[in-house]
Amino acid sequence: MNPLEEIQAYRDELVRIRHDLHAHPETAFEEVRSAALVADTLESLGIETHRGIARTGVVGVLRAGRGTRAIGLRADMDALPMTEANTFAHRSTVPGKMHGCGHDGHTAMLLGAARYLAAHPDFDGTVHFIFQPAEEGEGGGRLMVEEGLFQRFPMDAVYGMHNIPGMPAGTFGVMPGPMMASFDLLDIEVRGQGGHAAFPHAANDPVLAGSALVCALQGIVSRRVSPLDSAVVSITTFHAGETHNVIPPSARLSGTVRVFKDEVRDAVEADIRRICEGVAHTHGVGIELRYDRRYPPTINTEAEAALARDAAVALVGSSRVLTQAQALMAAEDFAFMLQARPGAYVWIGNGEGREGGCMVHNPHYDFNDAILPLGSAYWVSLVRTALPRAGLEQGSSS
């Protein structure tokens, strides 16, 4: 039986959970209320529950049959430090915090799958329900890995899912290889010598040096990275000076770098360092660079991407599963889990136009409740595909 039908029957409960989380957003490592809701729900389903992993993370363990294979299904629980502009009843009740990326929906979908699988353990092996904190910029996924997630809960593979506004509801996207880019931060300080603007020869202008630096850095993607690879170097802030007639003593710049391959990441960082040194020399200023590697690229392994595709196809048919989509230059800390174990990260369509709302991280964004049961059903289909019970065809049990 297709799990979707039965999960649709408790759609209202999933919506209630999702709206509750949405109204009470919690940001990185403060997901105390959300984690308690998750853990209490898992326990009420009779699922072995472990709290306090990577501070506010939760892992549920469900075993069936005698198989030794094990997989992990991961959802993120954190909200963003931004002010919600929506006015609907379930809008944020916390000033300056908002579920602007749909992690409320991700958490509700995985709880929906846990409910179904606890009632229908028609698989062979162990399923780990991983609810992680601090996906947005703070690397909760990395901390889970560092705290021994995969040693404490051995798994052969790990799977993730994110909603994508603009992709039709009822569709999925999954490819082998890169799904999301790496995410690094740059902070640069240019130190010159301040002075009277009418006597520039007596000063050493950090604004001119900083401007030359911005232009030179833009040559990396166009001239240094292979045209067949992708990279972004964006300088997004440039602060210097206070008034018209004073050359300031320093300038501060910041920005971000995104790539899909580790070797391109290494080369871009080396180029940025070299260009900073060169511009400093040319302009006779001091340039200090802080290059902060945050998230690696999110890379699906081939076999697991095929398995995730099959699980989605079993649910919605091959015409509604994109396998040739373009990777996104956004980043995802599920990448740390994929560095540790094989696995696959899939996109689920949040809907087009009005139905799917605006892009994530927009103050008007909201997760589309209509896809909650489908997301839960995908996890169920994935478990049946990855951990098939002998004698049971995928999707044939009720």
Q: Which of residues 97-126 bind Zn ion (CB under 5 A)?
A: 101
Judged by beta carbon, residue 109 or residue 276, the one nearer Zn ion is: 109
| Least Å from the CB of residue 76 to Zn ion | 6
| Least Å from the CB of residue 180 to Zn ion | 10
CA distance 206 to 285: 7
Judged by beta carbon, residue 101 or residue 280, the one nearer Zn ion is: 101
Instruction: Let me know: does 104 contact 360? Beta carbons within 8 Å.
Output: no
| Least Å from the CB of residue 162 to Zn ion | 6
Instruction: Let me know: does 386 contact 69? Beta carbons within 8 Å.
Output: yes
Candidates 47-55, 96-104, 119-127, 144-152 — which segment interacts with Zn ion by CB under 5 A? 96-104
Query: In what order do the strands lie in the sheet containing 231-240?
Result: 231-240, 250-259, 183-191, 286-295
Judged by beta carbon, residue 328 or residue 340, the one nearer Zn ion is: 328
| Closest residue to bound Zn ion by CB | 101
Q: Which of residues 280-299 bind Zn ion (CB under 5 A)?
A: none
State how far the alpha carbon of 165 is from the alpha carbons of 96, 99, 239, 348, in Å: 22, 14, 34, 9
Q: Which of residues 177-196 bind Zn ion (CB under 5 A)?
A: none
| Least Å from the CB of residue 181 to Zn ion | 13
> Which residues on adjacent β-strands are paired with residue 300?
177
- Site membership for Zn ion, residue 217 (CB under 5 A): no
Query: In what order do the strands lie in the sheet containing 172-173?
Result: 48-53, 57-64, 125-132, 70-76, 157-164, 343-349, 172-173, 321-322
| Helices H / strands E in the chain, number of each | 12, 16
Nearest CA to 102 out of 160, 179, 180 is that of 160
Candidates 93-101, 190-198, 291-299, 345-353 — which segment interacts with Zn ion by CB under 5 A? 93-101
Judged by beta carbon, residue 248 or residue 351, the one nearer Zn ion is: 351
- Site membership for Zn ion, residue 77 (CB under 5 A): no
Q: Between 346 and 385, how does the x/- string for binding to Zn ion read (CB under 5 A)?
A: ----------------------------------------
Judged by beta carbon, residue 6 or residue 78, the one nearer Zn ion is: 78
Question: Is residue 65 classed as helix, strand or coil in its secondary structure?
Answer: coil
- Name the residue type at position 267: A
| Interface residue list for Zn ion (CB under 5 A) | 101
